[in-house]
Amino acid sequence: MIRVQREDFDPGAELDRLLAGKSHIGGAVSFVGLVRDMVGDRVCDKAPGPANDQAVGAMTLEHYPGMTEKLLDEIEAEARRRWPLDASLIVHRYGRLLPGERIVLVIAASAHRAAAFEAAAFLVDWLKSKAPFWKHEETPSGGHWVEARAVDDEAARRWQADSGTDGAKRGDFRPPR
């Protein structure tokens, strides 16, 4: 199941709802992505202000309505092809978010934990580089669009390395370079 929404979500309630009545599930792995109050890998050690112009005040997530839902559906379907999942969920927010706010929730549940851990990592890695979302950060020195990070592309690529015999099919799924 996937959802794209402006409003916040309650990870505990989402988990309970997803697993309700499915007693064959042995483990569920959930991931919550949050807005950080820093740019890149530089740790913010001061409150936002002129002395620390890298601090992020807020972030606005833009997306492509229609294509976002389509891509998230495809990403979830790909995870379910690769791992024996009994339940899965992606919730992604859009709009203006403040540091500390939740952006994304991913849950993967399976009879055994290994599939749940791997599928959850896959879902996050793939949606970061394949779902049509764009982050715009506000800092005291002005706003800017966040650039895609090579490390995120790398994270997505590691799942293509073990794609096996249907690698060509997955290649089609990759956005053009």
**Which residue type occupies 177?**
R
> Which residues in the 56-85 window bind another protein by CB under 8 A?
61-64, 66-67, 70
Q: Which of 36, 80, 136, 170 binds another protein (CB under 8 A)?
A: 136
Q: Does 101 bind another protein (CB under 8 A)?
A: no
Distance in Å, CB of 37 to another protein, minimum: 17
Tell the smallest beta-carbon distance from residue 65 to another protein (Å): 10
Nearest CB to another protein, comparing residues 16 and 62: 62
Q: Which of 5, 7, 9, 1 is nearest to 105 (CA)?
A: 9
What is the Cα–Cα distance from 160 to 162, expressed in whole angstroms?
Answer: 5
Coil, helix or strand for 3?
strand
* CB atoms inside a 10 Å sphere around CB 85: 22
- Tokens for 60? 């606005």
Sketch the per residue contact string, 7 through 46, with another protein: x for CB under 8 A, - otherwise: --------------------------x-------------
Q: How far apart are the first and last CA of the chain?
A: 29
Segment lying near another protein (by CB under 8 A), choices 17-25, 35-43, 77-85, 127-135: 127-135
The answer to whether 2 contacts another protein (rule: CB under 8 A) is: no
Q: Does 100 sit near another protein (CB under 8 A)? A: no
Residues that bind another protein (CB under 8 A): 33, 61-64, 66-67, 70, 92, 103-104, 124, 127-136, 145-149, 152, 174-176
